[in-house]
């Protein structure tokens, strides 16, 4: 419904006066859980795109009149989180409270006239009329991801989040709230045991990989994705926690780092020449089974490559060098050797 009625000049003026008073009192919002401690503190960190006049007068109290304990969505669990630590002046609840994230009760209005026309999410709604929306997050939000994330980044654009810009998740338009759950005492993505399920919502292929017979023990809660990946971005395209793939592996498998007296070049170059990082149908996370694994690079000529062969090594008998440990029956030090006579990686 469009109203074309002219607004007399005095009304905006009057509103302006009223709202100026509102701002100067907004900080005195009665805090919903631990009264008094936030008293007198002026609201802070209003995003530049909206003018502060649109924030509701009583902070969270305005919202929880309707979003109360009985409401379907568990709004109240946020009071058990770091965001609700009013003693910490950086937190939402020390400032604009709910609206620090959800924006003003009137959504994204550039001017007061617009706001007036649109009505307010926190206000009364006439029967049959739709309540004006307020910024929501994650899957239920109809706002662009960038708008949502900006609300979080006004406080979180610190050292830990510098790499966010240009990272796979930022470019892939993943919202902070796609991974983080805010209205809960324990954010699942910050917990080793529950984190993988959050990632699997989008990374189904990886889920399948971790269910393969040989795997990194993510499925058993001993590791999580964060052991190797930095979700907020890093220098590497695959979001690894260290500047190179091998450095990432060495954080736990330090024994493979070397330097070795006799290096095996592929091992010091890139572990994934032979291993998959998540899971494999072959033992020891191998990409292929030996001898095929080795013969991608090493010739079969002049050396036993097939079980039950007499060809190649002198005195080789058909007992099958390549059974069981295959090439590693003899070349056991496949990651490099420190033995003086380990040149053929056999000891």
Residue ranges in 9-28 that form contacts with ligand HEC under rule CB under 6 A: none
* CA quadruple 82, 229, 212, 289: dihedral, nearest 10: -160
Asked if residues 23 and 57 have their Cβ atoms less than 8 Å apart, the reply is: no
* CA–CA dist 155, 44 (Å, integer): 11
Smaller CB separation from ligand HEC, 14 or 89: 89
Given the rule CB under 6 A, which of 16-24, 35-43, 110-118, 282-290 is the region that contacts ligand HEC? 282-290
Least Å from the CB of residue 16 to ligand HEC? 21
Contacts of 278 (CB under 8 A, 6+ apart): 206, 209, 210, 212, 215, 216, 218
Smaller CB separation from ligand HEC, 105 or 112: 105
* Residues in 261-280 that interact with ligand HEC by CB under 6 A: 264-267, 271-275, 277-278
- Which of 152, 233, 279, 282 is in the footprint of ligand HEC by CB under 6 A? 152
Strands (E), 122-241: 214-215
Smaller CB separation from ligand HEC, 17 or 297: 297
Given the rule CB under 6 A, which of 2-10, 12-20, 110-118, 197-205 is the region that contacts ligand HEC? 197-205
259 cis-preceded (ω within 30 degrees of 0): yes
- Which of 115, 145, 198, 260 is in the footprint of ligand HEC by CB under 6 A? 198
* Residues in 86-145 that interact with ligand HEC by CB under 6 A: 88, 90-92, 95, 97-102, 105, 121-122, 130-131, 133-134, 136-138, 140
* CA–CA dist 75, 101 (Å, integer): 13
Tokens of 134: 């307020």
- Which of 26, 60, 112, 115 is in the footprint of ligand HEC by CB under 6 A? 60
Asked if residues 87 and 37 have their Cβ atoms less than 8 Å apart, the reply is: yes
- Which of 248, 260, 279, 282 is in the footprint of ligand HEC by CB under 6 A? 248
* CA–CA dist 214, 227 (Å, integer): 18
Buried b or exposed e, range 176-211, using 16+ CB within 10 angstroms: bbbbbbbbeeebebeeeeebbebbeeeeeebbebbe
Smaller CB separation from ligand HEC, 26 or 112: 26
- Which of 23, 118, 187, 192 is in the footprint of ligand HEC by CB under 6 A? 187
Q: Does 163 bind ligand HEC (CB under 6 A)?
A: no
């Amino acid at each position: 419904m469009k109203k074309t009625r002219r607004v007399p000049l005095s009304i905006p003026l009057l509103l302006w006066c009223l709202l100026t008073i509102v701002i100067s009192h907004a900080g005195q919002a009665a805090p919903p859980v631990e009264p008094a401690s936030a008293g007198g503190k002026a609201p802070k960190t209003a995003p530049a795109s909206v003018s502060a006049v649109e924030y509701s007068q009583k902070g969270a109290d305005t919202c929880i009149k309707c979003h109360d304990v009985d409401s379907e969505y568990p709004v109240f669990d946020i009071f058990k989180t770091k965001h609700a630590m009013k003693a910490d002046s950086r937190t939402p609840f020390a400032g604009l409270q709910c609206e620090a994230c959800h924006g003003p009760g009137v959504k994204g209005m550039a001017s007061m006239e617009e706001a007036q026309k649109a009505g307010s999410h926190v206000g009364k709604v006439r029967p049959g009329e739709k309540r004006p929306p307020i910024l929501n997050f994650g899957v239920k939000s109809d706002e662009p991801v960038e708008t949502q994330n900006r609300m979080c980044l006004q406080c979180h654009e610190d050292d830990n989040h510098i790499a966010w810009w240009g990272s796979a998740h930022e470019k892939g338009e993943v919202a902070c709230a796609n991974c983080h759950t805010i209205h809960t005492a324990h954010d699942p993505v910050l917990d080793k045991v529950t984190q993988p399920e959050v990632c699997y919502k989008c990374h189904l292929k990886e889920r399948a990989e971790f269910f393969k017979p040989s795997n990194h023990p993510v499925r058993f809660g001993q590791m999580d994705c964060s052991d190797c990946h930095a979700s907020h971005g890093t220098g590497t395209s695959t979001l690894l926690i260290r500047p190179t793939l091998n450095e990432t592996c060495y954080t736990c498998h330090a024994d493979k780092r070397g330097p070795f007296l006799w290096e095996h070049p592929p091992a010091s170059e890139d572990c994934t020449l032979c291993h998959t990082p998540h899971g494999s149908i072959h033992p020891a996370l191998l990409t292929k089974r030996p001898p095929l694994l080795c013969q991608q690079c090493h010739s079969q000529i002049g050396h036993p490559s097939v079980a039950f062969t007499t060809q190649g090594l002198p005195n080789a008998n058909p007992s099958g060098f390549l059974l069981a440990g295959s090439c590693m029956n003899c070349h056991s030090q496949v990651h490099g050797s420190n033995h003086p006579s380990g040149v053929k990686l056999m000891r």
